[in-house]
Amino acid sequence: MTNDADIANTSPRRWLVAWIVALAVAALALAGVERGWRAHGQVPNVLDSPQLWSTERDKVYGDSPRPLVLLGASRTEYGFDMPTLRAELPGYRPVMLAINGLYPLAVLRDLANDPDFRGTVICDVESNAFLTEYRELQQPYVDYYHRHWTPSWRAHRALLDVWQQAAAISNPDLGAIAMLRRALAGAPPPPRNYVAYHTDRSGDIDYTLTDPEGAKRHFAAVAETNVANLPKRTPESWFAEVRPVLEQARAIEARGGRVIFYESPISGFNRQIMDRVYPPELYWNRFAAESPVAVVSARDYPELVAFPLPDDSHIDYRNKAAYTRTLIGVLKAKGLLQ
């Protein structure tokens, strides 16, 4: 290393030139890449992550407005319309904690173990979700929140939201390594993501940007594989796995909170597989009858199952607001929401 004197003796003009060149070239190059991606139809999109989840997890406290915590997987994350919830339920603060692809019971347990949580939970589950094999799927998010979520990362994530909403190049699929890989393989540019995320973590699925029939086949295949890979539960053994979850729900209600287990609509092969493995009269209906907390299934409400599910599992974003309004109506009619 050179010494202090070298720093003082080097011409400041040299660094001025270097940094003007650096910033000008970098700005031009990045603007060119951004423009190129936008010409290919790419748009800025918020990226869901444990950090973004943690920003929502921060919001589950307080009584006024009352937190309305949405737990579940993709059907909740992409099915609940947050502006509609805010407009229709002014006494509540909707908090999206559902995580795409992962059943939610680890987060329910976390809320049950949190003595400061007294909000309302809508926990979107199906019979499969109660199995112990699926119990820990969302635990890494919970661990991240409790071990790594710091004031510094809160500020970082807030600024990252701004950047991701402004720049298509903030998407890793459009990053340098991905570009190089595709260029060497002669692969076409990636298609635009058919899910658009918001900073409140809700997502909009636009089925005009993807192949719903392909998605349908995919979900059916995944469901079949999951069912085949797990030991079959008798109603008794299944209910033994449900019981601790009900205890957790009861713990939340004992503190003045509320838990609503909700089975969202599915159709086609998805419905057939689930009904074949877990006939409702032996599983879900018994759960609904014995649960000390509220249980609502969309299948009991024709107005909810009437919404089209292009891939048998999820709702197109154009129907989200109407679906959410309908569900709120159902829950209000049952006295579960004010």
Number of residues that bind other proteins (CB under 8 A): 52
100 token code pair:
């795409």
- Non-local CB neighbours of 35 within 8 Å, separated by 6+ positions: none
Q: Which of residues 147-206 bind other proteins (CB under 8 A)?
A: 147-148, 150-153, 155-156, 159-160, 163, 169-172, 174-177, 179-181, 184-185
| Strands 258-263 and 120-124, sheet pairing | parallel
Q: Which of 55, 330, 308, 53 is nearest to 205 (CA)?
A: 308
Nearer to other proteins (CB atom), residue 26 or residue 209: 26
Element (H, E) at 69: strand 66-71
Binding flag, residue 289, other proteins (CB under 8 A): no
Is residue 48 within 8 Å of 100, Cβ to Cβ? yes
Binding flag, residue 20, other proteins (CB under 8 A): yes
Nearer to other proteins (CB atom), residue 181 or residue 218: 181
What is the Cα–Cα distance from 264 to 299, expressed in whole angstroms?
8
Q: How far is the CB of 302 from other proteins (least distance, A)?
A: 43
x/- contact string, 68-107, with other proteins (CB under 8 A)?
A: ----------------------------------------
Binding flag, residue 40, other proteins (CB under 8 A): no
Binding flag, residue 19, other proteins (CB under 8 A): yes
Q: How far is the CB of 305 from other proteins (least distance, A)?
A: 38
Question: From the centroid of its chain, how far is CA 110?
Answer: 17
Is residue 312 within 8 Å of 271, Cβ to Cβ? yes
Residue 217 identity: R
Chain residues binding other proteins by CB under 8 A are 1-4, 6-8, 10-12, 14-26, 29-30, 33, 49, 51, 147-148, 150-153, 155-156, 159-160, 163, 169-172, 174-177, 179-181, 184-185
